[in-house]
Amino acid sequence: MKSKKTKTYWVKVFAAGAIEIAKQVCREEFLKKGLCITIEPTLFIYTGGEEIGFVIGLINYPRFPASPSSIRSRARQLAIKILDRTCQHSTLIMTPEKTEWITKRKE
């Protein structure tokens, strides 16, 4: 039996839209370079409404160890790709240090 450890780090991507499309985008992206994620359905409730979406968790998986900056970068690239493919206007990226809202909406 083997054991491998790495520093803990995570990034979460919050988005609305079809989870099946998001899962397919993840599969395509991670065939290129290994990464381990989680994806869970969620319900966003906000002022004036609610919307079904999902949360993608990127983790520093010991099989594919990466630096926090690399995980953040991949999360951002993934979030933007999913934003386009799910035809949504905004997404949210959360790390232990900060939260970033990305939007296509004109303010």
What pLDDT, on a 0 to 100 scale, did the predictor assign at position 77? 94
* Cα–Cα nearest to 97, from 8, 7, 6, 11: 11
- At 2-52, the pLDDT tens digits run 999 999 999 999 999 999 999 999 999 887 777 778 999 999 999 999 999
What pLDDT, on a 0 to 100 scale, did the predictor assign at position 87? 94
- At 69-103, the pLDDT tens digits run 999 999 999 999 999 999 999 999 999 999 999 99
Rounded to the nearest 10 degrees, the angle between the axes of helix 19-32 and helix 68-85 is: 130
- In this prediction, residues 59-67 reach a mean pLDDT of 89
Domains, in order of start, for the chain: 10-103 (3.30.70)
